[in-house]
């Protein structure tokens, strides 16, 4: 159900943390900074931190151009560090780290040690159940899923996932914060992939299987979805935008949590990732692009958000 209409926007400026300086992390940081929040972005990768400010500036320029909005001095509100203890004052933390269970588990254990007792731990996970992430802390009531879509500054809606352990106050605060960012929220229950990726990842995998079988090429598959169903874009161009490495990581999580072999990546999808053809960010995937759309320096698999 869409909750944002009933949610009072929280416009209070609170310290915000973002874990992960990849494409999604920079985009989420931009959303909070544009709304006036001071943001600390934490990432152990020096190259990602070094390129973060330029990627943030590019996002701000795009927001001004495409949305005719002036986010003000958003860049000045964002700092970049490798030190997790810099989040010791953060009251709202968004995990935008790779979609890999050991990585996220360690992050949530660290946040549990470092952050204030009242801090909300929101994860931009695309597939890992919220209850699993909450079990990595001593305060599962504070853990919630906030599945921002890519590119986060230009997408109006966030899929918010709640486990049975998620506290009512955590949900209320999260909806208020998102409303303060100008985002609508669709609240769903917990489960592998929630709604969006439980359906989308299987669609992408089956679309890849259709191409692999020779039934249709990638352009034709996408045209069917656009022209017959009225979708804005087809599943394979969507996969290229997400990043095929991210798709493979997400499928692995879904297969682990569901035990369903339908989520095993097709050989074609696995081959494209192994060849470095991971989508728009590399200039090639199921489709070819004139130039990479991202200056994120990290290798395939380093960013993980759908």
pTM: 0.89
31-43 pLDDT tens trace: 999 999 999 999 9
pLDDT band at 155 (very low <50, low <70, confident <90, very high): very high
172-190 pLDDT tens trace: 999 999 999 999 999 999 9
Q: Is the pLDDT of residue 158 over 50?
A: yes
State how far the Cα of 103 lies from the Cα of 154, in Å rounded to an integer: 27
State how far the Cα of 288 lies from the Cα of 290, in Å rounded to an integer: 7
Least confident of 2-16, 51-65, 221-235: 2-16
100-150 pLDDT tens trace: 999 999 999 999 999 999 999 999 999 999 999 999 999 999 999 999 998
């Amino acid at each position: 159900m869409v909750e944002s209409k009933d949610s009072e926007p929280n416009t209070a400026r609170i310290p915000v943390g973002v874990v992960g300086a990849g494409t999604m992390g920079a985009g989420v940081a931009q959303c909070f900074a544009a709304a006036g929040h001071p943001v600390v972005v934490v990432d152990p990768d020096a190259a990602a931190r070094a390129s973060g400010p330029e990627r943030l500036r590019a996002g701000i320029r795009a927001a001004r151009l495409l949305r005719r909005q002036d986010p003000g001095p958003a860049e000045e509100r964002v700092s970049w560090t490798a030190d997790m203890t810099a989040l010791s004052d953060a009251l709202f933390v968004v995990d935008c780290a790779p979609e890999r269970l050991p990585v996220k588990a360690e992050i949530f254990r660290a946040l549990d040690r470092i952050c204030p007792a009242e801090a909300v731990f929101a994860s931009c996970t695309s597939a890992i159940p919220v209850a699993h992430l909450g079990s990595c802390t001593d305060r599962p009531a504070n853990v919630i899923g906030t599945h921002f879509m890519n590119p986060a500054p230009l997408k109006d809606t966030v899929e918010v996932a709640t486990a049975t352990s998620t506290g009512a106050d955590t949900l209320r605060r999260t909806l208020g914060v998102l409303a303060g960012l100008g985002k609508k929220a669709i609240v769903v229950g917990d489960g592998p992939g929630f709604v969006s990726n439980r359906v989308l990842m299987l669609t992408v995998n089956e679309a890849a299987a259709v191409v692999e079988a020779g039934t249709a090429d990638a352009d034709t598959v996408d045209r069917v979805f656009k022209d017959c169903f009225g979708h804005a874009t087809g599943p394979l161009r969507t996969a290229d935008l997400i990043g095929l490495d991210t798709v493979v990581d997400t499928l692995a999580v879904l297969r682990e949590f569901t035990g369903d072999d339908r989520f095993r990546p097709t050989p074609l999808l696995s081959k494209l990732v192994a060849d470095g053809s991971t989508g728009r960010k590399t200039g090639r995937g199921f489709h070819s692009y004139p130039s990479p759309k991202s200056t994120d320096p990290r290798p395939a698999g380093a960013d993980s958000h759908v």
